[in-house]
C-alpha cells in the first residue's frame, strides 16, 4: 500500500498548496520592502491603477468572449525581472488569475512567491479601511 503523503499528487492538492497572503499582511510586507509586487493583470488594467512600485507581466494577453490567450512567455518575462529566490506577492484583480500565475512560477522553480488572496481589489479595500481608521503617515 502506498503512503497518503508523498509526491506526485495532483489537481486539488496542488492548488491547495499555493502559498497565500491576505491584504493586511501584503501591505505590511510591501511597506517593509521585504517583498516585491508582481501584477499579472493585462497592461490596460495595470495602467488604470496599481500598487506603487509594482511590475507588470500579464498572465493573459487577451480575454474575449471566445476565451483567454495565455502569455506564452510569462515565466520567461518574470525571470528576466526577478531572481527565482526573490520574495514576490503575485496579484491580479481578484486573486484567481494570480493563483494560476503563482502555480506556474512555483513549477518553474521560484521559491518565495505568494498569491494575494482577493487580489488588487482586496488591497484597495484594506487601504481604504486603514485611511478611515488611521491617519496615513507620509511616504
Active-site annotation, residues: 92
- Own/partner pairs for 56-64, CB < 8 Å, 24+ apart? 57/81, 59/92, 59/97, 59/98, 59/100, 59/101, 59/104, 60/97
With beta carbons less than 8 A apart as the criterion, state whether 102 and 75 touch.
Answer: no
Amino acid at each position: 500500500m502506498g503512503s497518503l503523503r508523498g509526491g506526485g499528487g495532483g489537481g486539488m492538492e496542488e492548488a491547495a498548496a499555493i502559498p497565500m497572503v491576505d491584504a493586511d499582511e501584503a501591505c505590511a510586507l510591501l511597506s517593509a520592502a521585504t517583498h516585491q509586487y508582481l501584477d499579472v493583470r493585462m497592461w490596460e488594467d495595470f495602467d488604470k491603477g496599481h500598487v506603487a512600485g509594482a511590475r507588470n507581466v500579464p498572465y493573459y494577453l487577451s480575454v474575449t468572449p471566445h476565451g483567454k490567450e495565455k502569455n506564452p512567455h510569462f515565466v520567461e518575462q518574470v525571470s528576466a525581472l526577478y531572481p527565482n529566490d526573490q520574495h514576490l506577492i503575485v496579484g491580479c484583480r481578484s486573486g484567481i488569475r494570480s493563483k494560476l500565475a503563482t502555480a506556474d512560477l512555483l513549477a518553474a522553480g521560484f521559491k518565495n512567491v505568494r498569491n494575494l488572496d482577493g487580489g488588487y481589489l482586496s488591497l484597495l479595500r484594506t487601504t481604504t479601511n486603514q485611511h478611515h481608521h488611521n491617519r496615513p503617515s507620509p511616504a
